[in-house]
Amino acid sequence: MNNRAVATPTRTKEILAKYGFSFKKSLGQNFLVDVNILKNIIEHAGIQKEAGAIEIGPGIGALTEQLAIHSDKVVAFEIDQRLLPILEDTLQDYDNVEVINQDILKADVEEVIKEQFTSGQSIHVVANLPYYITTPILMKLLMDRLPISSLTVMIQKEVADRMAASPNSKSYGSLSIAVQYYTEAQVVMNVPKTVFQPQPNVDSAVLHLKMRNQPPVDVKDEDFFFDVVKATFGQRRKTLMNNLARHFKGQYDKEALQSYLDQIEIDPRRRGESLSMDEFAKLANILYQE
């Protein structure tokens, strides 16, 4: 079947020509034309034959086809109606694929999982995500606390680096904390722009997110915790004290903040990027008032 795999430059050109398909910039459409890279992604996703897969933005079915071969069932969310007849054509050999014409950000994914997969089945999100909307999609999937085992996504390299970054690195910020609160994050491969049609302007990377059973830290209030994290990165060059004083103006003065920071043994001259998640949790918990 691979000799006519969707993910080759020739076959992709043929399919696009057959349907007179033109790329929509607004949807961030870049189709993968390298079967080996797709197989690598699936390998990194750790999908077993009995597992279920959720894909976002299947395009013309390049990754969908490989997921159909390697998993029990694939549910793909596609927002662009023009692609539905193409997917019906390219995936006609596979009876284990369900394409849903819906915006993933508006979809009730939990309900779809209940309807489409068997109870207790291991489910993995695997997708080549549109760059312009990567973060909202991933944060929705994580914050909805869906019954999924992992997410393996091809995204802009810079964003992947930020999501997997460690303290004291240039990429580390509130996004790193948000993603790592829910998952164990790792960049598993870099992908050159040459394997896409059309070629994007930036390099990509594959990010593997293994869902945690529970967050690595205990916080009194999650929203407040993320709020504090965001505040400390408000102006990256400023110290913890300056960012907190600015954020909590009218609520805590510098003297009160100094006393709280002393209690948890965090130097007010440090910058947000030097704090571990554990330290952020201590900070949020001591500042939180019911």
Domains of the chain from N-terminus onward: 2-211 (3.40.50.150), 222-287 (1.10.8.100)
Task: Detail the residues annotated as belonging to a binding site for S-adenosyl-L-methionine.
Answer: 30, 32, 57, 78, 103, 128
- Please tell me the distance from the alpha carbon of residue 215 to that of residue 57, in angstroms, as a whole number: 29
Q: Which of 68, 131, 140 is nearest to 108 (CA)?
A: 140
Give pLDDT tens digits along the chain (290 positions).
444 788 888 898 898 889 888 766 666 667 888 999 999 999 999 999 999 999 999 999 999 999 999 999 999 999 999 999 999 999 999 999 999 999 999 999 999 999 999 999 999 999 999 888 899 999 999 999 999 999 999 999 999 999 999 999 999 999 999 999 999 999 999 999 888 888 888 889 999 999 999 999 999 999 999 999 999 998 888 999 999 999 999 999 999 999 999 999 999 999 999 999 999 999 999 999 85
Task: Detail the residues annotated as belonging to a binding site.
Answer: 30, 32, 57, 78, 103, 128
- Please tell me the distance from the alpha carbon of residue 285 to that of residue 290, in angstroms, as a whole number: 10
Residue position matching structure tokens 């694929």: 97
Cβ-proximal residues to 239 (8 Å cutoff; 6+ apart), any chain: 268, 269, 270, 271
pTM over 0.85: yes
- Please tell me the distance from the alpha carbon of residue 207 to that of residue 25, in angstroms, as a whole number: 23
Q: How many CB atoms lie within 10 A of CB 198?
A: 11
Q: Terminus-to-terminus CA distance in the chain, angstroms?
A: 60
- Please tell me the distance from the alpha carbon of residue 251 to that of residue 261, in angstroms, as a whole number: 15
Res 1: pLDDT: 42
